[in-house]
A and B are shown apart, each in its own frame.
Chain A
Amino acid sequence: MARAITPRQKWTFTLVAWGIGLLIFFPILWTILTSFKTEAQAIADPPVFFAFDWTTENYTTVQERSNYFHHFMNSVIIALGSTLIGLAIAIPAAWSMAFQPARRTKDILMWMLSTKMLPPVGVLVPIYLIFRDVGLLDTRIGLVIVMTLINLPIIIWMLFTYFREIPVDILEAARMDGATLREEIIYILTPMAVPGIASTLLLNVILAWNEAFWTINLTADDAAPLTAFIASYSSPEGLFYAKLSAASTMAIAPILIIGWFSQKQLVRGLTFGAVK
């Protein structure tokens, strides 16, 4: 039976939700506004919200100083490359854990998660040395490998929880009809898990896009993505907040737009199974 909600409650909930939503979005909005100010307006006290002389000068300066497109393409390749390779490994792995669990499956899942518990800086020097010796420093391939390995535990965990929600009977029916293992995964399991896979893909693209430790530490120029591009506008001695905001806006805009358009899938995927 549906719980009755009074119009007053509805309004209150809506207002609270909007309030929280705006609060969370405010830093991004502020960054975007600051990017259109002069450096003097950016530090004005009291701060100005909309009543300032809008200028695109910061964007011009950033564009002149940096090759945005070069960094953008690196971000796209690293984020998409690592997510797709990760999915190709994780789908069979999650299948076996969800449908053919062994005695140690839970331990393996826990062990995979434990790799996320070490602070990355703890393994920076060994990984740096390996990368130096095999010539992967400042290469896109090197970063795709690192990002794949970093996000693999999360991809496997997410897919595992989605796959577990799929009735094993359907897979068994496919087997009865003579489907091979490959066909079972590609034609039966994957289409049913599309919302889950899509949200895993999106979430991992976002994680890989925003990852700033490895992408800055293992690159110099050739493979430097947008995270390195933002880092180049932060200054400890000098107020360049407006330019930094312009660079940040340019860096987050693509992922923000993708997030906006795909939020329905993302929310559906993340809550997949919870409402059954």
Chain B
Amino acid sequence: MRFIKSLAGAAASATLLAAPMTLAETITIATVNNGDMIRMQGLTAEFNALHPDIEVNWVTLEENVLRQRVTTDVATQGGQYDVMTIGTYEVPIWAAQGWLVALDDLPADYDIDDLLPSIRDGLTVDGKLYAAPFYGESSMVMYRTDLFEAAGLEMPAAPSWDFINEAARKLTDKDGEIYGICLRGKAGWGENIAFLTATANSYGARWFDEEWKPQFDSDAWKQTLTMYIDLMQEAGPPGSASNGFNENLALFQTGKCAMWIDATVAASFVTNPKDSQVADKVGFALAPDNGLGKRGNWLWAWSLGIPAGTDSEEAAKKFVAWATSKAYLELVADKEGWANVPPGTRASLYANPEYQKVPFAQMTLDSISSADPKNPTVDPVPYVGVQFVAIPEFQGIATAIGQQFSAALAGQITAEQALQNAQVLAEREMRRAGYPK
């Protein structure tokens, strides 16, 4: 009896001790190690000032690791995370699977209509928003104004591929280690395939026709890949088949590239005098087109989604609403300056006269606005996504095709062989996956 009493006493005191703990709800947020996310992590105290009852745990991972980690967790309803950083590729697929909580009850002051339409479209399924955009990006041309001036060239605000080809060859000085253009060559669905798919869109190519038949045997794809390989061989840096975003960023920042077509988010890096040797000599232009009505720029939004089945849905929603709000943008501007505000999500940011002074602001907005994830190509397609196809099979197929294109760039196979292999590969995988569905 005494034992039971003491046990009851211990349980009661444990409950008392635990009582203050239960007041604080803990949410775990999985995110990537990009500058804007690290800044968000640094501002956790500001969120806690508003919501002292919510404790925030951060799990930061490399993008590919994060993708594998959160996909495993959301698919098995593991419940390890309450907020996940995901992209425009995952959101339509996950939402269709019922893996995400719909964000249809955000507070009125969130002003959902302020979100940029192309970004919002990419995160909306059946009229409901399933993830809130944290930062949006497109791609654009970054170029060296000093080299252009010295060569007597003038970059148009909206250049064509013909101009880019001509300028890149003219600006190349291989002995002086200046290369006319730096582009992604590293294999991967988020690396060379992102760039080449967006470029192919501007050449009138597409991944699949309306019957889900792969289209790599089309003339448009042949033109795209041949142009890319010829351009890189004549005006690109050596070893470009292994260059991704970071490698090209390093080349551009150390003054080795006259032009670089890549993510708009790079603009804040290359204009930062602390890291970039060319910070005051960078100009921006829209991604090139080929006169067919589509530009070669992509659209991506790192967004915050809440996995279905989380124990802390309300707390997670409060965090998501805070981190993607107008007030958050002002908070970052206040602490770190307008150039460091996460770009590309809200119209009000671009209407702000202070933000308009940021050199790359307008070009980022124009690039994002000109991409349309629901109508990405010249000819109609059955899929959503500019530089990707939002179906689960895409990652595997695109990675394998990326290896073919990278091998072609390295000179191991010809462009024709790469496209033939891509066609066979895509046909086989799509047949196995049961398309057309």
Contacts and interface: CB of A to CB of B under 8 A. Distances in A.
Contacts of B79: 132, 137
B274 interface: yes
Interface string B60-91: 11111100110011011111110000000000
A236 B244 contact: yes
A231 to B, nearest CB: 5
A10 B34 CA distance: 52
Interface in A105-128: 124-125, 128
A239 interface: yes
B62 A231 contact: yes
Interface in A43-59: 43-45
B61 A232 contact: yes
A125 B61 contact: no
A34 B61 CA distance: 21
B254 interface: yes
Interface in B87-144: none
Contact of B41 (A40, A65, A217, A235): A65
A128 B76 contact: yes
B246 interface: yes
Contacts of B63: 235-237
Interface stretch (B25-33, B371-379, B409-417): B25-33
A228 B246 CA distance: 21
A43 B269 CA distance: 13
Interface residues of B, number: 46
- A128, A137, A220, A239 — which one has the most chain B CB atoms within 10 A of its CB? A220
Nearest to B80: A220
Interface string B251-294: 00110100000010110010000111100000000000000000
A221 interface: yes
A237 B76 contact: no
B109 to A, nearest CB: 31
B250 interface: yes
Contacts of B253: 40, 43, 239
B256 A235 contact: no
25 contacts: A40-B277, A44-B254, A45-B256, A132-B77, A132-B79, A138-B80, A216-B69, A220-B81, A221-B28, A221-B57, A221-B59, A224-B59, A232-B62, A233-B33, A233-B60, A235-B33, A235-B34, A235-B63, A236-B34, A236-B245, A237-B245, A237-B263, A238-B33, A238-B269, A239-B250
Minimum-distance CB pairs A-B, first 3: A232-B60, A234-B62, A235-B33
Given A132-B76, A236-B32, A239-B269, 20 more contacts: A40-B253, A40-B275, A40-B277, A124-B72, A125-B72, A132-B77, A216-B69, A220-B30, A221-B58, A221-B59, A224-B59, A232-B59, A234-B33, A235-B62, A236-B34, A236-B63, A236-B190, A236-B244, A239-B246, A239-B250
Interface of A: 39-40, 43-45, 65, 124-125, 128-129, 132, 137-138, 216-217, 220-221, 224, 228, 231-240
